[in-house]
Amino acid sequence: MNSNRRYLGPYQLQKRLEGNGTGEVWQAFDERQQRIVAVTVLHVSSQDSSELIPRFLYETKNLRNLQHPNIAQILDVQISSPSGNTQQPTDVYIVTEYVEGPSLADYLAATSHVGKFPTVANLYQMLAPIASALDYAHQNGIIHGRINPTSIVFDARKATENSPGEPRLINFGTHGMQPTLALPIYDVYYISPEIAQGYTENTRSDLYSLGVILYELCTGTHPFQGDTVADVMMQQIHATPMSPVLINPRVVPTLTAVIMRCLAKEPAARFPTVSAMVAALDRVLKSPASISLGLSNPGFSDPGLYHTPTISPSNTGNPNSNPGYTPLPLVPSPSAQPVSFGSVPAVQQANQQSSSPYSAPQASGPNVSSDSSPTFLTPAHNSLQSHLSAAQTMRTPSPATLPVQNVPYSNGAQPLAARPPVRPRRRLLPLLLTLALVAVLVISGLSIFLFHPFGNGTATTGPIFGHTFFTSSGLINQNDTRGIADGVQIDLQNLPNPQAGKGYYAWLLADTDGIETSPLSLGSLTVLNGHATKKFVDPQNNDLLSQYSRFLVTEENASAPPNNPSLNNADWRYAAFFSRVPNPDDLAHHYSVLDHLRHLLAQDPTLKGVGLDGGLDTWLFRNTLKILEWSGSAHDAFKTHDSELIRRQSVRILDYLDGTQLVTTENLPSDLSPVLVDPTIGKVGMFQISPNQNPPGYLKHIGNHLREISLSGHVTPTQQQTANKMNVALNNVHGWLDTVHSIANQLVHMTPDQLKEPSTLTLLNTMLTQSTAAFVGKTDPNTNEVKEGVSQIHYEAQSLATFDVQGCSSVNVKNFCA
């Protein structure tokens, strides 16, 4: 459409607010009614018009009937056919009430995106009216389908000194007009897994999108990020978002549970309605923990922002364009007055991931009303650089803060470096001197570099110049371990600038007996004020921890990036390793610290033996989340009087707790199949049911590794402390899941009439509460201390695989850098 003023029916298009190749939004003047309106124009090509125009008419036929105070009124829906030229696109357009005021995208840019988080009360006040509007639309058979922060605008007519205005929902009727892969990446951040897979949206698709917004409000970042639409869609379908508390430690466990349930892969595992989600948010607001553990109040003001007419996220990419924003007023609550905490530093939004080269496994279509069948969920540490930025201010422990164990966070994102191009080898002259030199290098240099016990010694002491740790993208393939520990985050401090003409280069090195594994270049390091950070993700998403156990920084020619690290240890500047010394007291296995880390995070051999790829921590995280989803689904089934669904979900919970091999010991009723989950995934249970159980239950098996790590003489004090904390959390989880097991066992033996009694709801409430605690932890209302759950265990397991980087000159070179 020409950007010059023109008419579309009776609407004079005055100001183009946003647009791309497939659509535009205009501020227009309605000459009939003498009023300003918003016109959303969608361009339909002549090739697609026969399919898309009937769909558009069907989707929008009831929009004008929507009458809700928090929905911008839809005034007109029209088709503007081309005159004469059949090759010209047809314009379909929706005319709505023009809402003047800032969008939620503007609010995010001025608050959460710069580390100024709203309180729980602010969240409730923003989302409660939108929930009411969405539920009203759903009851009238209308799904929004494209909710994102630009779809929520604060009506400036109702702005006050402390409020930008009443939230209004806009942009109904625009979904379904573009293939998902053709959507702008901004829209794809908010679509649900079922839409990403090409299935029809449902009411809980809108709930998922609102859950993404809630996640962003609480963390300042999207749950999934990527360089391309396909990257983000892959994660929406297969990956599990990082727990919000790991990004913003001020998020209380109950709020984490609300967010994670909204983001469940299966629609049936989400809240049944948007209002049910907001009711859960209200319970968080009124809980004692919220009083002292609420999110920080932004507490800054820019009245001019209130009166910025906006429909599009024009400023979302530049937080500095909106220097301030007054927070929404608190919702009066006699039981909860949120206390403001200091802001968490800004979260970088630049994604550093590489796309995955493999095809996504095919998944079956979701059915909201049907059972919640198993979904392959994976822990995703995508863009950990962006999640864990500016950590110097986040290291201070508090009752709500997960101890960071001195694992550094970066305060700036470095672009993902491509591997240096391979330069052609120079031909060796057949000179005796050259051959002698090569022989010396091979015999002495390589033997020292590749086989010397750098990595076989004890934990060293000396100045620490930072840390390097493994991350997981979450792009996991069910057939191998790709996507697990496939990234590396480097954060080094107190570095001198390299010498003139030199540069720092980072490398991962294989085990000392792994000569067949070449050193992996992580790229060059840029030093800024003594600080160097870098995120690397393997292009093939290979499991790096399974191949590499040593880290090295060399100082070499800056103008000719090396393909391999220097063999001259005079060029080695910083290094670290995981000990490979077998524990002499471990008479059964002789495991080293490296073995324990790999079993927890990369690949456990006993799991591999039963067809499960990945580490123990990975499966503990996935399966506990599934138990939480099934508990929520069973709880919701009580409201719909679906007694059989309650029983089936309870069987699934028992399958995961006992393991499919031993669930038959429960003496389940004959009318229920004892195995309702994937038999391979469910083969290993949470509990140790039998002394000879093989593989052991996850809780016992992980505990065994933690005990050995804590007793090892080859770990750092920080690793010992982390192992002890994880062990305490395992005991917490065992207690909570034991209660879940007891209740699930009761439910499967109850009759349909018994399952409809009020006492059953009490059981279901308790089961949901305990499974929530098992996954996200629980706050002690008396001490305000968090009893940790699986989310915290998952993060702490990642921090176990952290290199303490030391200078090669600060220790014995033979024992450390060589």
Q: How many CB atoms lie within 10 A of CB 363?
A: 17
Q: Which residues contact 140 (CB under 8 A, 6 or more apart)?
A: 62, 65, 66
Describe the strand order of the beta sheet including 35-44 as a list of residue ranges: 6-8, 11-20, 23-30, 35-44, 90-97, 74-80
Angle at 722 between CA 721 and CA 725, to 5 degrees: 90
730-781 pLDDT per residue, tens: 999 999 999 999 999 999 999 999 999 999 999 999 999 899 889 888 877 6
215 occurs within a structural domain? yes
- Kindly state whether residues 19 and 76 are assigned to the same domain: yes
- Does residue 586 form part of some domain? no
Q: Are residues 496 and 405 part of one domain?
A: yes
Query: How far apart are the two ends of the chain, measured CA to CA in Å?
Result: 66
Decide: residue 371, CB within 10 A, 0-12 exposed, 13-18 middle, 19+ buried. Answer: middle
User: Both 648 and 782 in a single domain?
Assistant: yes
Which pairing describes strands 378-379 and 239-240: parallel, antiparallel, or unpaired?
parallel
Is 158 a domain residue?
yes
Per-residue pLDDT reduced to its tens digit, 787-813? 889 988 987 888 899 999 999 975 444
For residue 250 the two structure tokens come to 């001020």
pLDDT attached to residue 350: 32
Residues 76 and 110 in one domain: no
Note the pLDDT of residue 698. 98
| Domain containing residue 81: CATH number | 3.30.200.20
**CA angle at residue 260 from 258 to 263, to 5 degrees?**
115
Token digits for 663? 């669930």
Domain boundary among 79, 97, 115: 97
* Structure token pair of residue 487: 């990234």
- Tell me, rounded to whole angstroms, the distance of Cα 674 from its chain centroid: 33
Q: Sort residue 9 into left (φ over 0), alpha (ψ -120 to 50) or beta.
A: left
Residue 22: the pLDDT is 64
How many other C-beta atoms can be found within 10 angstroms of the C-beta atom of residue 390? 16
Angle (CA) 764 766 768, round 5° = 70
Q: Cβ distance 188 to 232 under 8 Å?
A: yes
Residue 355: the pLDDT is 31
For 448-451, the CB contacts below 8 A with 24+ separation are 448/569, 448/818, 449/565, 449/567, 449/569, 449/818, 450/509, 450/510, 450/512, 450/514, 450/515, 451/512, 451/513, 451/515
User: Total structural domains in the chain?
Assistant: 4
Picking from 621, 622, 630, the residue whose alpha carbon sits closest to that of residue 261 is 630
CA 302, distance to chain mean position in Å, is: 31
Q: Is residue 13 part of a domain?
A: yes
At what angle are helices 758-776 and 253-262 packed, to 10 degrees? 100
Per-residue confidence (pLDDT) for residue 176, from 0 to 100 = 60
DSSP code of residue 739: H
Do residues 384 and 307 share a domain? no
Q: How many Å apart are CA 76 and CA 561, to the nearest integer?
A: 62
Asked whether residue 191 falls in the same domain as residue 313, the answer is yes
Q: Are residues 93 and 110 in the same domain?
A: no
The whole-number pLDDT of residue 657 equals: 97
Task: Reply yes or no: is the peptide bond before residue 781 cis, omega within 30 of 0.
Answer: no
Please list, in sequence order, all residues whose beta carbon lies within 8 angstroms of the beta carbon of residue 722, skipping any fewer than 6 positions away: 405, 796, 799, 800
What's the CATH number where 295 sits? 1.10.510.10
Assess whether 125 and 178 both reside in one domain: yes
Does the residue 584 lie in any domain?
Answer: no
**Predicted pLDDT at 165:** 87
Full domain range(s) for residue 121 = 104-347
Which residue positions in the chain have pLDDT lower than 50?
A: 1-4, 86, 291-294, 296-458, 811-814
Cα 340 from Cα 335, distance rounded (Å): 16
Burial of 584 (0-12, 13-18, 19+ CB in 10 A): exposed
- Domain identity same for 490 and 607: no
| Residue 513 sits in the same domain as residue 378 | yes
Last residue within a domain, chosen from 72, 97, 122: 97
Q: Last residue of some domain: 58, 79, 97?
A: 97
Residues 83 and 116 reside in one and the same domain: no
Q: Are residues 114 and 35 in the same domain?
A: no
CA dihedral 188, 189, 192, 195 (to 10 degrees): 10
| Strands 572-577 and 520-525, sheet pairing | unpaired
Residue 685 makes CB contacts below 8 A (sequence gap 6+) with 655, 656, 657, 658, 659, 660, 661, 662, 663, 697, 698
Strand runs (DSSP E) across 741-811, as ranges?
A: 778-779, 786-787, 802-807
